[in-house]
Amino acid sequence: MIIFPAVDIRQGKCVRLKQGRADQETVYGDDPAAMGLRWQEAGASWLHVVDLDGAFRRVPSNLESIRRLRRVVTIPIQLGGGIRTLETIAAYFDLGIDRLILGTAALKDPELVRQACQLYPGRIAIGLDARDGLVAVEGWTEVSSRPALDLAQELAPLQPAAFIYTDITRDGVKTGVNLEATRALAQQVQIPVIASGGVSSLEDLRALKPLASAGVIGVIIGRALYDGSIDLAEAIRLAQEA
């Protein structure tokens, strides 16, 4: 199982939001590139990066920070936030980003997702951000009437690299991953699933590990790494244990 440290960028700084709320921000550093390098040196094999301003504004908004991060770290980066066009997708891949995450587009522009998966096989992930099981979009400011599982089943034939499932109510509050919803998604689609939202301790990781047999290949950890509740090197060792 892969541990993805989260690097969320807002106004050029490394931050964490509580349940995605812009008014519930904690700043953890002025240099996202330095933070990415910190996680790489602690053993991370991937980084999960989000342009939060891009998610809210619907257009990439932290290009310089992302460019510098890509120059500094050598491990793969998956990136989401504000990606709405093929031109943006091509520009990010030209920048050296390894995998892009389409979230809002998955619900509002499935044709973009289809084209992106066709043009860049194995490099497009789909973000399924859910509140009470329903897909939320536009930086989590809008909740649709579409169940996340239904949307995943519709998009699975496009063969995305992964579905990234986030329970918004647990994000940033360290109450543990929504194991039931994550398991249900992994069992219903033949696409790798990355869990997100709520990891607070190594016990949460131990609880998540049995889901690997169902197709859960990784987990994104944010606040628990930043406040020291989880040591990244320990988390990686646990995730790699048989």
For residue 121, give the DSSP letter: T
Calpha distance 12→55 (Å, rounded):
14
Other beta carbons within 10 Å of 142: 12
Q: At 22, is the secondary structure helix, strand, or coil?
A: strand
Calpha distance 144→134 (Å, rounded):
6
The catalytically annotated residue of 51, 53, 129, 171 is 129
132 is catalytic: no
Q: How far is CA 145 from CA 110, 199, 200, in A?
A: 16, 26, 29
Residue with tokens 């998955």: 106
Calpha distance 122→162 (Å, rounded):
8
8 is catalytic: yes
As a whole number of angstroms, the longest Cα–Cα distance in the chain is 43
Active-site positions read: 8, 129
